[in-house]
Structure 1
């Protein structure tokens, strides 16, 4: 039975010791090299921190960061990726929450880390990687480990202004990855093209699908996502077969007509998440790579990557919505209405809730926020059953599949009506000349603002939306944008979009 993520690494190392495990733009490492380096770092850490401690990793994503992650795990600790581009104040808040004794970094970032008073002692990864391995000590740590021990913590935005650290155990990742790799046929011959930052949970699927199957992961430089031609060259050069990407990353290629330059025919799997996938972009991907497997996966960080999936098995028309599908095996996904009653009727919306082994351990040193969303299942008065309330609204379609509706906090009250902005965005998908669209609400002026990229005119938008929406749901303002601002995780940055609008950066359409 697999009870520690290192079992994946060690099993693959025995099977394919000389296969490239991870590679970035500059360096690569085999499974044998990764295990040896991780054990050295683990020994170094074990002499300085206790098992169960957080080990922040302050460096760019790359092969060195992977070695640091695995080293932390060999020491019986859990890792926390810290992007050097984080604002100093956010970094300070995260490190204050972690109260860590050490931080792993590398030469390039030593001075940057020292600049603010961050507290934890620096460990140079180069020095740690040269340590002599103490097999006896590492074996003793491993013997005492449990599958419910933390593996990593990822910080998400907090409504109070303090980032929330989601703590995820070995067992949750193992439970998810076993099903994920089996369902989507990830094999040793696959080459996974990593797009997601390492402090974003999409990368968990990349990293641990690789380790579980003995595949290879190519870490794609972030800068290439601004240049589709170079990105497509990179995918072909590195023979990438599997993309587990944010929707916006896939849309970059189609928006900028990348496939007119080159189609990387070796791509066999395209798994997307993070936002609603626009049908026109999915259709374009499928037209150029018709034999690839396409999967829509859904789920927040708090439930370990994803809780539902939908394998695209048919053509979708503009204006249709792509399902988020069905629950992953060993996860329970259900809908609750505002009175905590189970929602099963077709078309009726409810808050999507999740139960099962994949649930995280809650928020690090934040019991108040943990108690708000990790709660007892109101449908179960017989024994303890923790569920996570996602804050997302969903419904069942006529086909029995789950469909994402909107965030609960994307609901607005406008002209006396409760409106879900996601419904307006879905209606805008029907407009053929639109590439992407986002709707926001300007509270001060009480106006629905529709942002869009494409060649549509305001009259055309009004006419098409009027065919499917009541008049009170038609946006008051249409704003044309050349490109949408995105977060570091690849999602459309709605907050920044509204800031740019209020600053007068966009012309009204």
Structure 2
């Protein structure tokens, strides 16, 4: 197929549908013509500032209208867009900018204080341009003639040292995937596609370019809506969303809240999931309420191979499987499963997943050795010009030929769909003056993945971590790492177990047992509602006991675990507790009070509350 740049495909949509709404946000809307004018302003301003082909340009904006205009404007001059999330910890923003070392950056109009602060500290000489105002109708439209192998973007993941690691994307790799997905789903002009993912993850490319290449609309919810299952279900329904891209953790909360709130989701045609394993029970909940009307896609593919490389259309037959497969390769992709000797694995046996595609990324930004370790000559033919990507994931082929994803082979995991390098978390922990050494492992309880950190402290024996130190350590991590990389549990040991060579012996780490919450010596839950909420709390967090005044976040909770907890609460009580109500006081007692408030508002009798069987809370 002849190469056509993704922004040229968007340009064709602009020509066909100038008055159609391209981007709809809480701050306002942009038509395709207005988007074109804003993108022209960004391109012209960058050119005037000296930027051109190959320039790495961070985008530090809150308003998604600004994000879309900046991305297209940067591509029009042949630049490389680096979208950053201003909600990230300031230390993370600084570290990412230091890795990019940009000479130019795009900021909002007016610029966000977090963007200006990060730039002043990490890139003080960078020339900034704003994403607005729109260029005048007669202004020159920049258009660099790009090549398929030109770099187009950089998305950062966590590195093994705690430093962000940039994945440089190939321009020619975006359009083939977008064409494939729009063709598979039959996306048409007018489709409304939700934009839920952070701009700092490559999944945002789906959210932007699926609608923009077909005459659809990118629809952005209020920021507080994404992690509030009830609000997200209401928004999806009321905003008549046709297509949602998200991770299974958010999908679980969305469907549970939609069922509890009796939401019809009448416009929703498809949910495409990626980033985590999809549990059959989550698919069953969707089919049980909405039948086969809403298509469910399970996608797999690391950022290094551009968004997605295998897919599976989930059916009712899949509900009997132990896990939902990630399916078969999309066009121009091939899956190789290799055993520990580098030979093709037999069907039904476990092997490491290697992906072969001409649409792979260009490698890691300024890390040639890591790039060479990850992108290797074809392991069967040995052809040095035929590179495949070693995913580090395990999988196996099922009897029907579908690929089953089984997990990681190394120290990299996904929590809530976000890639986390365990060694990076360990490195940041060791930076704390009280921590002599650390070993971080991934665990799963009640279908939710979380991290556990074993700590060797400098001046304290093994036992339990005092509450004040727990808070201090979490604050240290949250300043430097994304929320998903903060361990839910800290387990202090007198010494970490080691091999004869002195390395940490992870196989000898003590088995994880449920941990008592910090305040279980306090007052136990009083009412039936509180006891029921407490049992749901225990299903969500890695604790064995809970008091009515226990703080969710002090007990190891994260933003994604909030989604899981509220989904359970909404499903159990058939109410919709707003996220903001819970965050005001994230305790068992306050959540139970919020449940009873919603029950009273719905005129439901409180004496009909049912007790859930579970452990004694006292």
TM-score normalised by the shorter chain: which range applies? Answer: 0.7 to 0.9
* Deviation (angstroms), 1:323: 0.4
Q: In 1, distance between residues paired with 2:105 and 2:220?
A: 23
**Is 1:438 paired with 2:449?**
yes
Q: What does the per-residue CA deviation read over 1:334-371, in whole Å, with 9 as the maximum and x for residues that have no partner?
A: 1112211111321x111111111220010111112211
2:326 corresponds in structure 1 to 324
Segment drifting more, 78-87 vs 119-128: 119-128
Deviation at 1:305, TM superposition (A): 0.5
Show the 5 A alignment for 1:392-403. 392-403=393-404
Name structure 1 gaps, 5 residues minimum: 413-420, 429-433, 461-476, 493-504
Q: Residue 129 and residue 400 in structure 1: after superposition, are their counterparts in 2 closer, same or farther (change >3 A)? A: same
2:58–2:83 contact (8 Å) kept in structure 1: yes
Relative distance call for 1:129 and 1:41 in structure 2 (3 A) is: farther
Note if 1:230 corresponds to 2:245: no
Question: 1: CA distance between counterparts of 2:616 and 2:28?
Answer: 47
Tell me if 1:345 matches 2:347.
yes
The equivalences for 1:462-501 within 5 A come to 485-486=558-559
Partner of 1:362: 363
Q: Contact 1:307–1:328 (CA<8 Å) still a contact in 2? A: yes
Map Cα deviations across residues 311-333 of structure 1 (whole Å, 9 max, x no partner). 01233447721001001111111
Shift of 1:111: 3.7
Q: In the alignment, which residue of structure 1 is the partner of 2:512?
A: 449
The counterpart of 2:312, out of the listed 307, 310, 313, is 310
Give the corresponding residue for 1:177: 178
Provide the residue aligned with 1:418 in structure 2. Answer: none
2:130 paired residue among 114, 120, 125: 125
- Give me the whole-angstrom Cα distance separating, in 2, the residues matched to 1:491 and 1:121: 41
TM-aligned CA distance change 1:262 to 1:332, over 3 Å = same
In 1, Cα distance between the equivalents of 2:310 and 2:616?
A: 38
Residue 408 to residue 163, structure 1, CA distance change in 2 (3 Å):
same
TM-superposition CA deviations, 1:457-483 (whole Å, max 9, x none): 99x9xxxxxxxxxxxxxxxx9758979
Is 1:27 paired with 2:28? yes
Question: Which secondary structure state, in structure 1, belongs to the residue aligned with residue 317 of structure 2?
Answer: coil
Gaps of 5+ in 2: 414-440, 455-495, 497-507, 516-532, 547-551, 566-586, 589-614
Given that 1:439 and 1:449 are in contact with CA atoms closer than 8 Å, whether structure 2 keeps it comes out as: no
Structure label with greater radius of gyration: 2
The alignment's TM-score, normalised by the length of structure 2, stands at 0.67
Change (3 A) 1:317 1:127: closer
What is residue 481 of structure 2 aligned with on the other side? none
Change beyond 3 A, Cα 1:112–1:198: closer
8 Å contact kept, 2:21–2:32 = yes
> Shift in Å at residue 2 of structure 1?
4.3
User: Given that residues 440 and 448 in structure 1 are in contact (C-alpha distance below 8 angstroms), is that contact kept between their aligned partners in structure 2?
Assistant: no
* CA pair 93-454 structure 1, distance change in 2 beyond 3 A: same
- Is 1:135 the counterpart of 2:140? The answer is yes
Q: How many residues align?
A: 457
**Contact (CA 8 Å) 1:442, 1:448: kept in 2 or not?**
no
Aligned in 2, Cα 1:98/1:263: closer, same or farther, shift over 3 Å? same
Residue pair 1:274, 1:491 contacting (<8 A) in 2 also = no
In 2, Cα distance between equivalents of 1:409 and 1:287: 37
Kept in 2, the 8 Å contact 1:39–1:133? The answer is no
Report the CA distance between 1:133 and its aligned residue. 6.2
State the TM-score, normalized to the length of structure 1.
Answer: 0.81
Partner SS, residue 226 of structure 1: coil
